[in-house]
Structure 1
Amino acid sequence: MNYQLRREKLRASLDQAEIGQVLIQNLDNIYYFSGFNALVTSRPMGLVISREKACLIVPIVAADSARKEAGDMDIAVYYEHPVGEQAEIGFYASLAKTLATGTQGGNIGVEAGKFSLDNLKILNELGLQPQDISRHLQQLRAIKEPEELDAIRTAARYVDYCVEKSVAEIRQGISEVEIDRAGVCALNKQTAADLPGASVACFSMSLSGAARSVMLHASSGGRKIRPGDAVVLCRQVAINGYWAQCDRTVFLGKPTPEQLKYFSLVQAAHAAAVEIIRQGIIASQIDQVIRAVYEKAGVAKYFLHRSGSGFGIGTTEIPHLSFDSKDLINGNMALVIQPALYIPGVGGFRYSDTVFVKDGGNEIISRFPKDINTMAVTSNTPD
């Protein structure tokens, strides 16, 4: 990844708005422009990009990692223990010193969602006027570079593997958390062998039965799988900071006619979305075709969230595939499409895939099968 080129593009794009420097505090954006993949902690961090240079402000606990991953820029370290008069104690002291060396007065780009009153006080003292550039940063990240697409494709290969190993463990009497553990342990073992030195992260959720599989967001628990259950598997895997997602709904045993009905509807909605995804459409059109399938069947009220979003460094990026989205779909975007139904008393049915927008169409890069023969697990069901 060419982080310096990204910073140059940012500088050039903000010159027209007469923004002389930028303060970035969203960790995903910091990674995008610096290469520093920070761990989430209670300690604030910041990336200041001026016309002349870039400076990453980090706590002492992150200093070694920052120097290793973002070595092409200045690193300002702040402390939380007494180290002498020359050291900066605390983030805001270090931020004030860093900003004071940049453009005096004028406009500074900030992320409104990460901007605090403490930040505002410092900017006021330096005569800097904050301008929200959050949307602009999102737009820069939305269209992926070839290296980013390669990274997401790698993540998709391993998210498929995690799903595969999770499905293989589904049987009567196993708990949701044990299904999670099987997939995640297999993933960690395989990536350690294939990609030594890579950073690997995983989100895993397995919800089973009529009452739990309809939960949109929940933690896997100790409930044990029973014959006839639908099990919603949600898997997200990141390799070196780039994510891919694959969700599948698996049945222990032969699905009932009612389960098969909703399974087939979600599959049809998925196919309708894939059919229209291409550059030049509006994101809301993807949501519309999915909902149209459900409306025709009289079940649209059971689709309770948007149809997906952009994916990459973040697991929710623009474009947002919602009914009211005005985001334009462009080539080299990475999307996750998430058609689903949540039927009270019956269960949840969810199929998510990671998709690349390409010239003339799209490519589904999460490829674990979703046909009913694969999704109905019978080999592990007692006779």
Structure 2
Amino acid sequence: MIPRGEYLERMERLRQKVAEAGLDAFLVTSEDSIYYLTGVSYRPLERPFFILVRPGGPPVLLVPALERQHLRAAPNVEEVLHYWDYPAPAGQGWADRLLELLAGHTRVGLEPSLSQEIAGRLAHLSPRVLPLIEELRVVKSAAEVRMLRDAARYSDAAVGRLLAASYHGVSVLELFSQGRSVQLHIMRESGYDVLTSSVLVGSWPAPLSAQPHGVPSIADRLEDGPHIALAFLRVNGYAAECERTYFLSPPRQEERAAFAAMMEARRRAFALVRPGVACAELDATARDFLHQEGYGDRLLHRTGHGFGLGNHEAPWVADGSTDVLRENMLISIEPGIYLPGVGGIRHSDTVLVTRDGYESLTRYPTDLASMTVTASKRLNRLKGVLLRRAAGVK
């Protein structure tokens, strides 16, 4: 877990950044930012939460009335104020209390993710939009790296469960059901904050795997072609992922060639990972190679993204990114090739940038032999029949 002292340090660093930016106050509004600063989990739903951070005074937390006792657990907020509810009678809503707090402040900063509803009520202040907390979050502390290691370890285990449960003809239902076992595994070993933990574990069947964000039906079957196993986890606040392309019958030549190209693009990207390297350069290295191999019109996304409280956050390993790698950043390496009518070819790993290179926190095998699963698995087939019958899936 994150020690109390680290939350105190985070708030102090933010206050310093607010002062350096020449602001009277900075308004923290996003759920992840408030969690990052306080360690208190909550769900805002329609009711907004705010932390007002000032260079010369203690931070103030403004929350709906039903949350005021819960949020008093924040280790570094001395004053917790509340508004009635959403909506509220005139004079008792969030906007009334917030404008009272901001009275006299003429140089106010806001987070980039602020909702239009809140921004509209503050427009008369001509606030500046600044990613101050994103800048704090991008490099991880030792405690955060430990949390991310745990999440990565569970991601590896989840992919292992998916491949162990797979056989030619397995249903998507059977594989997505593995998520419950992963969730119970986490609960037994690490506890489970239900508001800051999530488990998405399953396999995308060919040829739908050629659409990275397509949505399979639970009745779909995994037969020939490249399938993508995915473990997309957030464990007690910190996220990681592991993805593997695998086959349930011997891959065809077109699939083998694409797999080999994906692996070489990964190798070239990994070879560049170290402090001081521009994320755009890392992305270009992988993409340029795949273009040279004739897959330029089969690419759909960047080479990677960051991890932390979110599964997708800075730094962005992408064309157009201005991010530069620093020690204790976390990124994914996941160049992908997408063959219409055939399927997707993509591995993804959670990677820690170290002092002089990198460490992959997800370590599940990547080679084609390990990713080809042809055992008949009679017991799995019987379990699949029973599960599909119970779920009403043919």
Normalising by structure 2, what TM-score? Answer: 0.87
Determine helix, strand or coil for the equivalent of 1:3.
helix
Aligned to 1:91: 94
Please show how residues 48-197 of structure 1 align to structure 2 within 5 Å: 48-51=52-55, 52-69=57-74, 72-80=77-85, 89-100=92-103, 104-116=104-116, 118-122=118-122, 124=124, 128-134=125-131, 136-182=132-178, 184-197=179-192
Aligned to 2:264: 268
Q: Structure 1's 381 and 293: CA in aligned 2 closer, same or farther, altered over 3 A?
A: farther
Equivalent of 2:298 in 299, 302, 318: 302
Aligned to 1:9: 13
Residue 84 of structure 1, CA deviation: 10
Determine helix, strand or coil for the equivalent of 1:360.
coil
Q: Structure 1's 233 and 90: CA in aligned 2 closer, same or farther, altered over 3 A?
A: farther
Aligned to 2:376: 380
Q: Say whether the 8 Å CA contact 1:308–1:321 is kept in structure 2.
A: yes
CA deviation map 1:216-240 (0-9, x unaligned):
2123322432432322122211111
Determine helix, strand or coil for the equivalent of 1:106.
coil
- What is the one-letter code of the residue matched to 2:41? N
Aligned to 2:27: 23
Q: Say whether the 8 Å CA contact 1:79–1:89 is kept in structure 2.
A: yes
Uncovered stretches (5+) of structure 1, i.e. residues with no partner: none
Residue 201 (structure 1) aligned with residue 205 (structure 2): no
In structure 2, what is the Cα distance between the partners aligned to 1:227 and 1:118? 50
Residue 377 of structure 1, CA deviation: 1.0
Residue 293 of structure 1, CA deviation: 2.0
Q: Structure 1's 37 and 378: CA in aligned 2 closer, same or farther, altered over 3 A?
A: same
Residue 277 (structure 1) aligned with residue 273 (structure 2): yes
CA deviation map 1:78-104 (0-9, x unaligned):
33389999xx7332223223334xxx2
CA deviation map 1:309-348 (0-9, x unaligned):
1110122222211122221111110111221110112211
Q: Structure 1's 175 and 197: CA in aligned 2 closer, same or farther, altered over 3 A?
A: closer
Aligned to 1:319: 315
In structure 1, what is the Cα distance between the partners aligned to 2:374 and 2:94? 57
RMSD over aligned Cα atoms: 2.5
Q: Structure 1's 64 and 171: CA in aligned 2 closer, same or farther, altered over 3 A?
A: farther
In structure 2, what is the Cα distance between the partners aligned to 1:348 and 1:248? 10
Q: Say whether the 8 Å CA contact 1:287–1:321 is kept in structure 2.
A: yes
Determine helix, strand or coil for the equivalent of 1:159.
helix
Q: Say whether the 8 Å CA contact 2:168–2:249 is kept in structure 1.
A: no
Normalising by structure 1, what TM-score? Answer: 0.89
In structure 1, what is the Cα distance between the partners aligned to 2:307 and 2:76? 27
Aligned to 1:243: 239
- What is the one-letter code of the residue matched to 2:205? S
In structure 2, what is the Cα distance between the partners aligned to 1:65 and 1:204? 31
Q: Say whether the 8 Å CA contact 1:340–1:349 is kept in structure 2.
A: yes
